[in-house]
Amino acid sequence: MAEPVLIDRPRADWTGIGLAIVLTLVIIFPLVVVALWAFTNVWRYPSILPQEFGLRYWTQTLSRPDVWQSITTSVSLACSVTVISAIICLPAAFAFARLQFPFRSILFFSFIAGQAFPKFGLLVAIAGIFLGLNLIGNFWGVVLIQLVGTLLYMIWIPVAAFQGVDRRMEEAARDVGASPLRVFWSITLPQAGPTIGAAVLLTFVNTFYETEGAWLIGAPQVHTMPILMISFINNQPVIQYGAVLSVILWIPSFFALLFARRVISGGSFARGFGA
């Protein structure tokens, strides 16, 4: 079957070009400023470019021993949290989307509490819980509190995914004798795949940049990258440290973007089942 295209190939892709230009201006421009800053020693108005380029802040940032440690800690935290969150939340999302059980709506709704209520008033209570569990200053304590923060994303978004799956296809597969697990693996999961992929990506990135929970539970032993960034940028007119750290992180971010493109690019999944 010929691939359906809404945009005729021979003509130039004006929509795409227009979007690309607008987005480049709006998104790339501030980022270029941040990147320039990372390589600046002195930069004052009214000059368009810094008066003095330099790598002074790179050497100062990279010579701190805790920079690499904090990045690896953040990565291992984000990986652990995302994996555990996927394991406990995806089945729950499936249950919320498809199954009937008592209190379903209220329980589904309760996850909003994690995000909607600001944490400042809860710090003493939450710290009390973790102190009782003896998880302060501990890697797994930080995993636990960051895990709680991911529940909303990892349940609400996949629920939308599972509900968007075409039931008739599942029934058709069951009619030809596929087991429920086979149906789930081959029909449900691929169709829900892009949205779940979006949830996974969001969870990973949000956990990586999460600060409050990691600080409250992890200090003084667990140093994550955003905590380090706060101590660098804290009340400093010198923004270069933050710029350098940001730029360092853009390399792994680029890989995460490639991952996103593969999984979330909706066309490939839907097309396979529409043909």
Partner 1 sequence: MKRRTFMISAGAAAGAALLPRTAFADANRIDWYTSSDANVTDFWTNIVVPKFVAANPGVTVNLVDTDAPGLQAIEARALAALANKVDPQADFFEGSEARLPPGALDAGLYVDFSKENLSNYSKLNPLAADIPQNITYRGSQVLLAYDTTKLSPDKAPKTFADLVAWIKANPGQFIYNRPDKGGSGGNFVVRAIWEANGRDPSMFKVDNYADATGQPMLQKGFDILKDIAPSLMDQGAYTSGNTQSIQLLSQGAVTMIPAWSDQALSAIKTGVLPATTGLVQLTDLALAGGFTKNTIPVNGLNKALALKLQDFILTEEIQSAVITELGGFPGVSWDYVSKELHDKYADVIPASIPTWPGGDWDKNMKDGWYRSVAPNVARS
Partner 2 sequence: MALASASDIVGARKQGGRLVGLLLVAIPVILVAWMVIFPILSAVVTTLWQTGSNGVPAFTLKTYQFFFSDGYSLANLYLTLWTTALCALFLLVICLPIALYLRFAKGRLAAYVQGLAIFPLFVPSIVLAYAFIRVLGPNGMVDILLNAAHLPKIRTPYLTPWGPLIGLVWDHIPLTVLILLAGLGAVSDASIEAARDVGAGRLRLLWNIILPRLGNSILVAASFAVLGIFSAFTLPYVLGPAAPEMMGPFMQRTFRDLYDAPNAITQAVISFFFCIIFGLFYVRSIVNNQRNR
Query: Which parts of this chain interact with partner 1 (CB under 8 A)?
Result: 41-42, 44-46, 52, 72-73, 75-77, 79-80, 82-83, 86, 120, 123-125, 127-128, 131-132, 134, 136-140, 189-190, 193, 197, 212, 215-216, 219-222, 227, 230-232, 234-238, 259, 263
- Helix (H/G/I), strand (E/B), else coil: 40: strand
Using the minimum distance from each CB to partner 1, give the nearer residue, 114 or 193.
193
- Selected from 10, 132, 220, 274, the binder of partner 2 by CB under 8 A is 274
User: Angle, to 10 degrees, between the axis of helix 66-98 and the axis of helix 189-208?
Assistant: 140
Separation between Cα atoms, residue 126 and residue 21, nearest integer Å: 46
Question: Residue 76 CB, nearest distance to partner 1 (Å)?
Answer: 4
Contact status, residue 197 vs residue 264, Cβ threshold 8 Å: yes
User: Distances in Å between the alpha carbon of 165 and those of 104, 158, 168?
Assistant: 20, 11, 9
- Selected from 82, 197, 207, 216, the binder of partner 2 by CB under 8 A is 197
72 interface partner picked from partner 1, partner 2, none, CB below 5 to 8 A per type:
partner 1
- Helix (H/G/I), strand (E/B), else coil: 42: strand
For residue 187, the 8-state DSSP code is I
Query: Read out DSSP for 120-165?
Result: GGGHHHHHHHHHHTT-TT-HHHHHHHHHHHHHHHHHHHHHHHHHTS
236 interface partner picked from partner 2, partner 1, none, CB below 5 to 8 A per type:
partner 1
Q: Does residue 92 belong to the site contacting partner 2 (CB under 8 A)? A: yes
Which of the residues 225 through 264 are near partner 2 (CB under 8 A)?
Answer: 226, 229-230, 233, 239, 242-243, 246, 249-250, 253, 256-257, 260-261, 264
Q: Does residue 5 belong to the site contacting partner 2 (CB under 8 A)? A: yes
Phi–psi pair at 202, nearest 5 degrees: -60, -45
Over the window 124 to 153, marking each residue x when it contacts partner 2 by CB under 8 A and - when it does not, the resulting string is -xx--x--------------xx-xx--xxx
Using the minimum distance from each CB to partner 1, give the nearer residue, 20 or 270.
270
Q: Does residue 4 belong to the site contacting partner 2 (CB under 8 A)? A: yes
- Helix (H/G/I), strand (E/B), else coil: 52: strand
Q: Does residue 117 belong to the site contacting partner 2 (CB under 8 A)? A: yes
Closest to 196 in 3D by CA, of 148, 260, 110, 253:
260
Question: Residue 188 CB, nearest distance to partner 2 (Å)?
Answer: 12
- Helix (H/G/I), strand (E/B), else coil: 196: helix
38 interface partner picked from partner 1, partner 2, none, CB below 5 to 8 A per type:
none
